[in-house]
Amino acid sequence: MLLWEICFYYDERDGLAQKFVRYTVFTENEILPRMKEDPRIFYTEDGKRLAPAFDSHMDRLQEWRRDTRIFRPGDALTHVGTTFIRLQMSESPTPLALKP
């Protein structure tokens, strides 16, 4: 179970990195080259909303930011430590502090 939890954690971290790459590539290829152009290119024809591609990009950015709040430095150790304690407690009625 502990190994599964560790694998799950790092798999989620990898997914977060892939989202970052996707976000960065879109920013570098679609937004930055157009920054000096007419700002209307980022909006729908009526000018009331972001164009669908840029609106989706903002959604992905918000998703990525939400995910990064979950995975902060040190979380792997906290996550693994909590899982280890849970496993120890489920295997023995003796509290960890009293184990030899």
pLDDT tens by residue, 23-78: 899 999 999 999 999 999 999 999 999 999 999 999 988 888 887 777 665 555 55
First-to-last CA distance in the chain? 23
Closest CA to 53 of 64, 61, 37, 36: 61
Backbone angle region of 35, left / alpha / beta, with phi > 0 → left and psi within -120 to 50 → alpha: alpha
pTM of the model: 0.60
Domain ranges of the chain: 2-98
DSSP state of 96: G
Joined tokens for residue 82: 């909590």
What's the rounded Cα separation, in Å, for the pair 45 and 49?
Answer: 9
Neighbours of 6 (CB within 10 A): 14
